[in-house]
Amino acid sequence: MHLDLPHQTWSGPPIDDEPILARVPEPLASALRARNGCVAYQGGLHVRGACAAPAWHALRAAWEGPLALHGLYDEVAADDVPFAEDALGDQFLLRDGAVLHLWAETGEVEPAAPSLEAFFAAVLAEPAQTLALEPLLAFQGAGRTLAPGQLLMAWPPFCVTASEQGVQLTPIDALERRVFLADVARQIRGLPEGAEVQLKLRDDD
């Protein structure tokens, strides 16, 4: 399997974290040895790589670092491999050979594809649907682009009804977006459908 994906805007640096490749399923390890991750679909898909830096691209950092996804979400297991994300920061995880989709605003996890190969086949066949590209396309339609290491911030979040009146899309550092989404998911976890919620933005100052 190769990461020959359309509209690549960035390719990962040379591999400098070989031990992490020994821990991932062979199809992913083989793909990363050929190309150490990338940003494709002009920011619509980010496949992480086996490298120490940049931190936003490092598979190890997303898997076991201070901002590891299993530490941010109860629904993510420590051995889930967080190999990719879409433009909004939703995550794709490998678990027992299958690909799961983590809806990062809510923490919900659902099946995405029965295998890594099937996932990338779906991406190539139906990228807009598989990667939920509509917000990114709207952002690009306004003449804007995402730089490598950036994701889209949608405010208000799509999981609240206020978003039905429209959302503001702005670029944000990918790691900041990860922390923000996990905080949103924490605040709404366990609330019944239709419950009123007033989201609080974190102030770390």
pLDDT tens digits along 88-131:
999 999 999 999 999 999 999 999 999 999 999 999 999 999 99
What is the mean predicted confidence (pLDDT) over 33-41? 97
Confidence at residue 199, expressed as pLDDT on a 0 to 100 scale? 55
Confidence at residue 67, expressed as pLDDT on a 0 to 100 scale? 96
The answer on pLDDT for 204 being more than 50 is: no
Confidence at residue 205, expressed as pLDDT on a 0 to 100 scale? 40
For 15, the 3-state DSSP assignment is coil
Per-position DSSP letters for 52-85, written without gaps between them: SSSTTTBHHHHHHSTT-HHHH-TTS-TT-EEEEE
Percent of the chain with pLDDT over 90: 82
CA separation, residue 193 to residues 23, 142, 153, 155, 161 (Å) = 38, 33, 23, 20, 11
Report residue 182's pLDDT band, with 50, 70 and 90 as the boundaries.
very high
Other beta carbons within 10 angstroms of residue 126's beta carbon come to 11
Confidence at residue 173, expressed as pLDDT on a 0 to 100 scale? 98
What is the mean predicted confidence (pLDDT) over 73-86? 97
Report residue 190's pLDDT band, with 50, 70 and 90 as the boundaries.
low
Confidence at residue 154, expressed as pLDDT on a 0 to 100 scale? 93
User: What is the model's pTM?
Assistant: 0.91
Confidence at residue 156, expressed as pLDDT on a 0 to 100 scale? 87
What is the Cα gyration radius of the chain? 16
Rounded to the nearest angstrom, the gap between the alpha carbon of residue 1 and the centroid of all alpha carbons in its chain is 20
Confidence at residue 198, expressed as pLDDT on a 0 to 100 scale? 56
> Is the model more confident about 162 or about 3?
3
